[in-house]
């Protein structure tokens, strides 16, 4: 037990350090971004492409800091009995807006009431948003993102499925590694975060993918809140 407590204390210390370092880095970066933008507006067109790269890289660094903070924090999360359907319905406007901007659509198919699960609502939203964004980023415009739930008597299944480029087999096993990314602007932290969230909920996450056809992420939660495997 003492070891467990030590470990929890260390983890929460790491989380607190990450939070304060992140804060100390974010503020100067916001100032830098503001002035670079100003310089950009006042510079001759020939130089503007350089400033655009600086801004893009700043945004990428910012995204890494934000994702890293989510990964390092929240080690000890509080859960409450919540409805997965309510959580999904709650966040759909955000996902619809995102899809809309890309010319894509979202098909939401919730099964009949899946009851209450022990969830940390903030984390589940982060999980779904990360999976949904990855799906959208893998698709051309006009693609459809499918989000659905299914009630299996001791489990609830959440499916996020896209019609995107798919993932070649040799990459499948590296997906959940922190910093694994194939995107120029990616952080490679999204799925690492998803995995840690699912693990904190004693759930499972699986991927099925076919190159050129699409990818499905399957998340299952035990209704008891403990392992039911």
Task: List residues near ligand ADP by CB under 6 A.
Answer: 130, 134-135, 138, 162, 164-165, 167, 175, 180-183, 186-192, 215
Q: Which stretch binds Mg ion (CB under 5 A): 43-51, 62-70, 104-112, 183-191?
A: 183-191
Quick check: 190 binds Mg ion (CB under 5 A)? yes
**CB of residue 129 to ligand ADP, shortest distance in Å:** 11
Quick check: 134 binds Mg ion (CB under 5 A)? yes
Taking the least distance from each CB to ligand ADP, the nearer of 126 and 215 is 215
86: left (phi over 0), alpha (psi -120 to 50) or beta: alpha
**CB of residue 190 to Mg ion, shortest distance in Å:** 3
Taking the least distance from each CB to ligand ADP, the nearer of 121 and 207 is 207
3-state secondary structure (DSSP) of residue 167: coil
Taking the least distance from each CB to Mg ion, the nearer of 96 and 180 is 180
HSE, side-chain direction, 13 A CA sphere, residue 34: 6
**CB of residue 180 to ligand ADP, shortest distance in Å:** 5
Quick check: 215 binds Mg ion (CB under 5 A)? no
Distance CA 25, CA 65 (A): 9
Number of residues binding to Mg ion, judged by CB under 5 A: 2
Query: What distance lies between CA 144 and its chain's CA centroid?
Result: 19
* Complete DSSP assignment for 36-102: HHHHHHHS-HHHHHHHHHHHHHHHHHHHHHHHHHHHHS-SS---EEEEHHHHHHHHHHHHHHHHHHT
Return the number of other C-beta atoms located less than 10 Å from residue 227's C-beta: 9
Given the rule CB under 5 A, which residues bind Mg ion? Answer: 134, 190
């Amino acid at each position: 037990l003492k070891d467990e407590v030590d470990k929890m204390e260390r983890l929460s210390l790491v989380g607190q350090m990450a939070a304060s370092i992140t804060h100390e880095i974010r503020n100067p970066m916001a100032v830098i971004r503001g002035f670079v933008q100003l310089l950009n507006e006042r510079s001759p067109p020939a130089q503007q492409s350089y400033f655009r790269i600086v801004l893009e890289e700043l945004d990428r660094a910012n995204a890494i800091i934000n994702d890293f903070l989510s990964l390092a924090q929240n080690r000890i999360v509080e859960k409450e009995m919540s409805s997965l359907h309510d959580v999904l319905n709650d966040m759909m406007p955000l996902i619809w807006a995102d899809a809309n901007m890309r010319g894509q659509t979202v098909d939401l198919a919730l099964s009949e009431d899946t009851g209450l699960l022990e969830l940390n609502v903030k984390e589940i939203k982060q999980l779904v948003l990360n999976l949904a964004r990855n799906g959208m980023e893998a698709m051309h415009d006009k693609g459809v993102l499918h989000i659905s739930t299914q009630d299996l008597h001791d489990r609830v299944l959440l499916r996020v499925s896209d019609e995107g480029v798919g993932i070649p087999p040799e990459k499948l096993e590296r997906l959940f590694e922190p910093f694994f990314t194939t995107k120029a602007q990616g952080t490679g932290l999204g799925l690492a975060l998803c995995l840690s969230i699912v693990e904190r909920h004693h759930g499972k996450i699986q991927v099925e993918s076919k190159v050129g056809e699409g990818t499905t992420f399957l998340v299952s939660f035990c209704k008891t809140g403990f392992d039911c495997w």
